Structure 1
Amino acid sequence: MSDALINGVAGAGAGIVAQLITYPLQTVNTRQQTERQPKDASGEELLIASKRLAKRNLGTIGQICQVIKQEGWGRLYGGLMPSLAGTAASQGVYYYFYQIFWTNAEAAAINRFSKGSGDGTVGIFSSLLVAALSGCLNVLLTNPIWVVVTRMQTHTKVLKKNQADPLKRIPPEAPQISPLEPSSPFGTSHAVQEVYDEAGVLGFWKGVVPTLIMVSNPTLQFMLYETMLKQLKRRRALNKKGRNGATALEIFLLGAIAKLGATVVTYPLLVVKSRLQVKQVSGADKRHHYKGTLDAIGKMIQHEGFGGFYKGMNTKIVQSVLAAAILFMVKEELVKVARVLVTGNVGLVEKVKTRTS
């Protein structure tokens, strides 16, 4: 089994573990991102806005409890199966290509060093390029899965909102919702059909532009992670205590810090992506109907202000930092186990400790 394949499989497994642990936070965060409260609301819109504000003031834990109370535990895991498939595919694709590109970057660095240039290690710019290329391939291949997941996470919210707010007027041309529909099953096949009926095949690539731009998130994350890890190992080597690897706890903390920095910088793009991927009812308020990335950004600034780009950021920071930390830690442990199982050589564990993929 190749080194790239080992890292791909380990990345997929670690992604699933992280997703299972943090999924309720992800569901609540998606709902927060897709809540729309115009800054110039008046009349019945103000009444609806006040209800949403009260809901947000509950905080993340309060909203989780509210979902459990009103919709049941199952809604916190709406879209879990396609999300797990998406996570496994995303992490597998990302780490597979990341390892291939990283190996080539290392070979190039060693080649330059042999010719008297550089220090033989992969620099920050090369790390950035490796992460960016891996991220772009990942986005293009897996975006359809995340469109379906977003629909499933927000489905109940959209239906209940129309039912729970009797003062909200539904345009005649909008689809009418039967009283029984909120409790009717809405599985993966329903979400796929809904996306296809709405925009055809291209609908599965909604939000791909901001998502491609958001490649800078894992790019920044891995650049920070690799830089901090390299510094840690360098200090260990200078101490000359015969140990220059990183422990699982250290990898957990480095992954958390790296993800925190990347999330704060790129969060507005994540909100725009969620707005584009959520169901948009034909004939609904034009302020909430987006034709594309630039249209969404313009309408959000005009009707919600810049604060609209940071809805639910506190929840996202907790979810993404925790997930990233778990992913890094579990992935490295799985790589070690996979190497031993494939080769039967326990000594290879030390090789893994000297650098991370």
Structure 2
Amino acid sequence: MTAPISRQRRAAVAADTTSSSFSITSSLLRLFKHIKYENLAAGLSGGVISTLVLHPLDLVKIRFAVSDGLKMRPQYDGMMHCMKTIWKLEGIRGLYQGVTPNIWGAGASWGLYFLFYNAIKAYKKEGRQTELSAAEHLVSAAEAGILALCLTNPVWVTKTRLVLQYNADPSRKHYKGMMDALVKIYRHEGIPGLYRGFLPGLVGTSHAALQFMTYEGLKREQNTHKKMPSDSLLSPLEYITIAAISKIFAVAMTYPYQVVRARLQDQHNNYSGIVDVMSRTWIMSVLDFLYSNEGIEGFYKGMVPNLVRVIPACCITFLVFENVSRLLLGEYH
């Protein structure tokens, strides 16, 4: 009796596995059916345009985020002093250090994000008459963020390394450009080096998830207020206002992860992991007679230049996306 039962169980397990594989394949095919490359092109356009305009502020934000007291780092009194100092030493070229990977990263991230996010939304809404809930928007945005991060994290590591080269003499810089940095990081640190900051980056998907959830909710409320369908095209001013509000909310909730991520990716300091970064930023040191190194303020370094940069960047990106995607999809009217 034992052998037949065993064969039956194996057959049942095999049938369940086959059924599960078929279900996953079917779900993926249904998801791929909703992929529209117009969303990729529109998101890429928004990311590239906003990056070209606002990269110097991103550079300043990162330099403040990693400002942990090391003497080898330049000391800045504020955002304007930082920009003036870089301009004086290196000119416009200095303010655009790391712009190539930033364009690649922002373009690819926004393009892939909007591609995955809209496909996931359409997949979840398939066969439904009701709108997606706030929680469904949150989960859809988080899933899209994880997929995009898996593909773009090496580009963000490269950008961080490039903008943290403080020497004005090009011949004394460790990295000559984006491809040189990618090759050197891979050669000396391997795949783990290219995925430094990946875990806080995953936490960072909550930032985009909160932003998209708020953005979608505000769009829907605005169209309801105007007694129009929820997917109706809004005015440029309405998109800018809604994008700004959603970005401010998301930044206020999640900014500390960006500081942790930037410090993990920084080539001038050696942290063993996320806990080490957080403890060295926050925990009081016995050697310093219980004097806090940076305290809670350490987790919000660079937030002001970050807000100055990300709010207009977000407004530009979303405004460009909404209009370009509708134009490419033939929905602009």
Q: Normalised by the size of structure 1, how large is the TM-score? A: 0.76
2:243 is aligned to: 255
Q: Give the counterpart letter for 2:98 in structure 1.
A: G
Return the match for 1:279 from 267, 271, 275. 267
Matched, 1:81 2:100: yes
Alignment of 1:294-309 (within 5 A): 294-302=275-283, 303-309=293-299
Alignment of 1:209-228 (within 5 A): 209-228=199-218
Q: CA deviation at 1:25?
A: 0.2
Matched, 1:20 2:52: yes
SS in structure 2 at match of 1:127: helix
Q: Is the 8 A contact 2:259 2:300 kept in 1?
A: yes
Q: Is the 8 A contact 1:237 1:244 kept in 2?
A: no
Matched, 1:349 2:332: yes
Q: Any gaps of 5 or more consecutive residues in structure 2?
A: 1-32, 284-292
Q: Is the 8 A contact 2:117 2:140 kept in 1?
A: yes
Q: Is the 8 A contact 2:160 2:262 kept in 1?
A: yes
Return the match for 1:323 from 313, 317, 327. 313
Q: Give the counterpart letter for 1:103 in structure 2.
A: A
Matched, 1:126 2:158: no
Provide Cα deviations, 1:294-334, integer angstroms capped at 9, x if missing partner. 11111111332221111111000111111001101011111
Over aligned residue pairs, what C-alpha RMSD do you find? Answer: 2.4
Q: Is the 8 A contact 2:47 2:317 kept in 1?
A: yes
Q: CA deviation at 1:185?
A: 6.9
Alignment of 1:55-134 (within 5 A): 55=76, 57=77, 59-107=78-126, 109-110=128-129, 120-134=130-144
Q: What is the CA–CA distance in structure 2 between the aligned matches of 1:147 and 1:270, rounded to whole Å?
A: 12
Q: What is the CA–CA distance in structure 2 between the aligned matches of 1:108 and 1:338, rounded to whole Å?
A: 24
Provide Cα deviations, 1:239-262, integer angstroms capped at 9, x if missing partner. x9xx95411111011111101110
Q: Give the counterpart letter for 1:316 in structure 2.
A: N
Return the match for 1:236 from 226, 229, 236. 226
2:256 is aligned to: 268
Gap change, CA 1:206 and 1:183, over 3 Å in 2:
closer
SS in structure 1 at match of 2:309: helix
Q: Is the 8 A contact 1:4 1:97 kept in 2?
A: no
Q: What is the CA–CA distance in structure 2 between the aligned matches of 1:86 and 1:185, rounded to whole Å?
A: 18
Q: What is the CA–CA distance in structure 1 between the aligned matches of 2:68 and 2:188, rounded to whole Å?
A: 21
Q: Is the 8 A contact 1:14 1:331 kept in 2?
A: yes
Gap change, CA 1:339 and 1:180, over 3 Å in 2:
closer
195-204 vs 1-10, which moves further? 1-10
Question: How many residues matched?
Answer: 291
SS in structure 2 at match of 1:212: helix
Q: Give the counterpart letter for 2:99 in structure 1.
A: L
Q: What is the CA–CA distance in structure 1 between the aligned matches of 2:310 and 2:226, rounded to whole Å?
A: 29
254-263 vs 329-338, which moves further? 329-338
Matched, 1:142 2:152: yes
Q: What is the CA–CA distance in structure 1 between the aligned matches of 2:238 and 2:35, rounded to whole Å?
A: 23
SS in structure 1 at match of 2:227: helix
Gap change, CA 1:276 and 1:219, over 3 Å in 2:
same
Q: What is the CA–CA distance in structure 2 between the aligned matches of 1:2 and 1:292, rounded to whole Å?
A: 38
2:272 is aligned to: 291
Q: Normalised by the size of structure 2, how large is the TM-score? A: 0.81
* Paired-residue identity, %: 29
129-138 vs 196-205, which moves further? 196-205
Alignment of 1:28-67 (within 5 A): 28-37=60-69, 52=75, 55=76, 57=77, 59-67=78-86
